[in-house]
């Protein structure tokens, strides 16, 4: 199984990136993770859609070829990040590769809300017609990682309770991908 990861933070030492790196190692027997290069995308511009810029074309191809998508987002000013919205806007056009694509959402914050507000906004976008991704149902399946400074060590998620919860959601997501 292959997943494409859209990491909504561009910084090198991003907790959200470290979450994906943790998942890459921990679930290597379940799936491989390929990173989408959302940094290289130009700002979405309808005048540039035909032909699509190379970076957008590549993103479309990656998502189309993947069994699922993993979106991890920081919370910026009570929402998900602009670079992530830009990537989703590109993906909502042309062949719309996100349509019905199994998509797992997660987010990490150093604070007590754990990207709750960012993920609420993100969910609204994920059900829009141009995206229409297939996600786990809301109400218990949200991966909201709070107080990241205490739960990550040397660039990896190490908090045992959080990892156990993550295991349970990943199992559900693998079932979703496999149509179980």
List of residues contacting ligand FMN (CB under 6 A) = 9, 11, 14-16, 74-78, 108-111, 113
Minimal CB distance residue for ligand FMN: 74
Residue (118 or 177) nearer to ligand FMN, CB: 118
User: Least CB distance from residue 129 to ligand FMN, whole Å?
Assistant: 28
User: Least CB distance from residue 95 to ligand FMN, whole Å?
Assistant: 29
Residue (11 or 39) nearer to ligand FMN, CB: 11
User: Least CB distance from residue 16 to ligand FMN, whole Å?
Assistant: 3
Residue located via tokens 């218990």: 140
User: Least CB distance from residue 26 to ligand FMN, whole Å?
Assistant: 18
Residue (48 or 82) nearer to ligand FMN, CB: 82
| Integer Cα distance of 169 and 70 in angstroms | 12
At residue 143, the 3 state secondary structure works out as strand
Q: Find out whether the peptide bond into 51 is cis, omega within 30 degrees of 0.
A: yes
Residue (106 or 177) nearer to ligand FMN, CB: 106
């Amino acid at each position: 199984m292959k997943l494409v990861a859209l990491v909504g933070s561009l910084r090198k030492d991003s907790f959200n990136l470290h979450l994906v790196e943790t998942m890459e190692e921990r679930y290597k027997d379940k799936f491989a993770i390929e990173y989408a290069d959302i940094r290289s995308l130009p700002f979405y511009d309808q005048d540039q859609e035909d032909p699509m810029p190379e970076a957008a074309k590549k993103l479309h191809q990656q998502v189309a070829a993947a069994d699922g998508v993993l979106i991890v987002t920081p919370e910026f000013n009570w929402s998900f990040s602009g670079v992530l919205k830009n990537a989703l806007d590109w993906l909502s056009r042309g062949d719309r590769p996100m349509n019905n694509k199994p998509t797992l959402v997660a987010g990490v914050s150093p604070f007590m809300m754990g990207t709750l507000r960012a993920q609420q906004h993100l969910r609204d976008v994920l059900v829009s017609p141009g995206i229409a991704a297939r996600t786990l149902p809301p109400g218990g399946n949200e991966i909201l990682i709070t107080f990241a400074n205490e739960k990550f060590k040397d660039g990896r998620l190490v908090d045992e309770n959080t990892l156990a919860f993550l295991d349970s959601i990943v199992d559900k997501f693998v079932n979703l991908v496999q149509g179980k």
